[in-house]
Amino acid sequence: MIPIPRREFVHGLGFRMLGLGLSNLSALAGPRADAEGPAGFGRVKHCIFLFLYGGLRSLIRRERMTKRNVSTVFFATQVAVAMAILMAGSEDLRAQPLFTSQDLFISGHDNVNIYRIPSLIVSPKGTILAFCEARQGDDGDPTNLVLKRSLFEDPPSQPRNLNGYPRTFGYGVNWQSMQVVLAGKGEAIMQPCPVVDRTTGEILICCQEIRGGLANLLKNEWHGRCLILSSVDDGVTWSSPREITESVGHFAAGPGIGIQLKSGRLVIPGYSKDGARCIFSDDHGKTWRAGTPVKNKGCNESQVVELSDGSLLMNMRQGGRRRYVALSKDQGETWLKENNEESLPDPGCQASILRFPNRAAGARDLLLFANPPHPAPFEARTNLTVRLSDDDGQTWKASREVDPGPGAYSSLAVLADGSTIGLLYETGEKHPYEKIAFVRFNLEWLTTTPKSNTGN
């Protein structure tokens, strides 16, 4: 069930029918991007306070007149209605669990043999950008970097201004046709890892080009070139690739996404032959350099998140049965406190981690983590699950299965409404590489006990 905006809820109480001009209350309550979750109830209570205060002032003025009994009745009605909202608010105003799913890239479609390695970001304009590799045939064939961009509902359901652009919400319904961001032309374009520069509005992608296709990757992963592409028009068009191998060395990005720190630094996690590390830029992507790798040389595919205190947490794939994590106090330059994360079992697979801004004043931001949670071999890529932490990843107090079947690589993103989460992941009926699906859900779904064992 899609959450009911507070504006509709307040009108639904029939304030206009009372003839009291209470539509002003609903106007104060919405529309807002954050008006569909529990945190927004404080705004409604503030509106109710103003509403009662106005009624009290009106009552005091009217008490000086002869019709004091009538005005007293009016104010008593206001109090009764307001109290009804407050009493019901903690439950009725809470967003309902939301979960939708759709297949986005299906192997065999558009002359593509198999789609792999999903990556999901949201542009400054609010558009969802879903990237992946389009592997055209066997290992010796070229691999393209492809993209699908979201379309928005028409007519708009609830238009509002986002970063200076008019946008509506309800996406996940329609998508534009697949576009090729960078064609392999005999080479393999692999491991897309986009990052959004919120200062400039530019979208950048780091990827790896393996000459000779995937067959050469299996022989020598460090034979490739590290490339950067960029878009300044919301992902519609892309620049020619620019090689940065000389600056960062042989580096495989992600796979997944990069992040922009509060300081403005762009950080792209990944790995080299020496282990997991990050590359970063302090001039909006013009120049790049590499940080120090973690000490555990067995770590490779990685993702990074900025914690509440500004430190970085890198979450990595390794050969063991658990995820491996490390902290950085210098924005990804060096790493410390490396250890196995015992609470995050893993079969040796890529995973995704994301910071979800917490609206509660003074509270730590939430962390989301997604992977197939089995401490078993490579073949155990099933039961893709999302976990939630409210203490910067020290503990994971809530989790829910997204898909009971095959599931492997994934990518998380906070969608433009600020309360919905998007997840792009590999899945299928017999194996996890039959298609790439897009799901969207909210925290209410994630923290609600499922009614069946399907997770939905």
C-beta separation of 262 from 276 below 8 A? no
* 237/85 Cα distance (integer angstroms): 49
| Distance, CA of 315 to CA of 299 (rounded, Å) | 10
Q: Which of 370, 438, 442, 445 shows the shortest CA–CA distance to 151?
A: 438
Task: Write the DSSP symbol of residue 42.
Answer: H
d(C-alpha 51, C-alpha 74), whole Å = 12
Q: Given 110, 139, 141, 341, which residue is catalytic?
A: 139
Site of tokens 């409210």: 390
Handedness of CA 431, 432, 438, 444 (dihedral sign): positive
Strands (DSSP E) contained in 123-233 are 128-135, 143-151, 160-162, 165-167, 174-175, 179-182, 188-196, 203-210, 225-231
Angle 355-208-272 from CA coordinates, rounded to 5°: 70
Annotated catalytic, 139? yes
Does 53 qualify as catalytic in the annotation? no
For the question of residue 409 being annotated catalytic, the response is yes
Amino acid letter for position 380: A
- Shortest CA distance to 6 belongs to which of 168, 165, 158? 158
| b/e 9-21 (16+ beta carbons within 10 angstroms → b) | bbbebebeeeebe
**Which of 115, 171, 409, 425 is an active site residue?**
409
First to last CA, the chain: 12
Residue 94: exposed, middle, or buried by beta-carbon count in 10 A (0-12, 13-18, 19+)? middle
Distance CA 251, CA 11 (A): 56
Residue with tokens 């991007």: 33
Q: What is the DSSP letter of 285?
A: T
- Rounded Cα distance between 287 and 245, Å, is 11
**Catalytic position from the list 133, 197, 301, 392:** 301
Q: Phi-psi bin for 109: left (phi > 0), alpha (psi -120 to 50), beta?
A: beta
**305 closest CA partner among 257, 264, 243, 375:** 257
Say if CB 437 and CB 427 are below 8 A apart.
yes
- Catalytic site residues? 139, 301, 409
